[in-house]
Amino acid sequence: ESEGKVAMFDRGFLIAGGVYEVSAVINGKLVDYAAHMERLGRSLSELRMGWPCTRAELDTMHHELIRRNDLKEGIIYMQVTRGAADRAFNFPKGETKPTLIAFTQVMNLVNNPNAVTGVKVITTPDLRWSRRDIKTVMLLAPVLGKQAAYEQGAQEGWMVENGHVTEGTSSNAYIVKDGKVITRHLSNEILAGCTRRALMRLAKEEGVEIVERPFTPEEAYAADEAFLTSASQFVMPIVEIDGKRIGGGQPGPVVRKLRELYLKEAGA
Ligand code: PDD
């Protein structure tokens, strides 16, 4: 950590010109890794950035990070930027060498105590740009939303645009009503979560109906259950939104079942 260096002129540093992925590790094994690499490829190509190395080399890097850090449970963060060049808004003339960095973080993912109690969420305006489908390191709007949540005693902010929830500041958002799971459809307005994708498949296999459409905060207040998904939270129950208790303030049966299914699939 102390020896890694990034150039002062790196476009990731100067203009947030970079993309990233966060992959979970359980029992020393990567979770949903193929989906994360697929999304990385898409983020890079949407920004017309090159791969920093081959996919096989990235795979080796991930496995080496787990081995050298003896990581049993936690996450691998990786980031690719367009590289260093004289500062300009337009792309640098000629090829720049992409910058690749990655590190591990130990986390208690499976037995996260929040999953037992459920977490609190507040709503906050969605201040982001219109290409939220690209996983860029340009995270100031989500940072302000997450900070607002923390300052109000909540763990996540659900961002609201035109009266509807888009997603969490670092997670996808779901409510459950009459046994049906409701979550916003994929578009440029939200990030296509890898956990979301895996969960949708598992839910379908289990016969849980999923409706993909936007929902309002008012609909969420009146929901039977609510939850969020992300690589570092998996499937996380929500028990309060804007100070209003959801489902009696306890994680409900649908979210508990979905978390169990996801953990089983992930090798917990
Ligand atoms: N965040 N939406 C946003 C805005 C996110 O930042 C994330 C993930 C997700 C969930 O995607 P996935 O299931 O692929 O993790 C949705 C990561 C965990 C982060 O920034 O730390």
Q: Express each pLDDT in 203-230 by its tens digit.
A: 999 999 999 999 999 999 999 999 999 9
Instruction: Give me ligand 1 centre to Cα 26, in Å.
Output: 17
Which atom of ligand 1 is found nearest the CA of 36?
14
SS3 191: coil
Whole-number pLDDT of residue 75: 98
Mean pLDDT of all residues belonging to the chain:
97
The b-or-e profile of 159-195 (16+ CB within 10 A means b, else e) is bbeeebbbbbbbbbbbbbbeeebbbbeeeebbbbbbb
Pick the catalytic residue: 5, 29, 72, 135?
A: 135
Residue range 187-197: mean pLDDT, rounded = 98
In this prediction the pTM is 0.97
Q: Is the pLDDT of residue 76 over 90?
A: yes
Whole-number pLDDT of residue 1: 86
Q: Whose CA is nearest to atom 19 of ligand 1?
A: 170
Ligand 1 near 233 CB (within 6 A) = no
Q: What are phi and psi of 57, to 5 degrees?
A: -65, -35
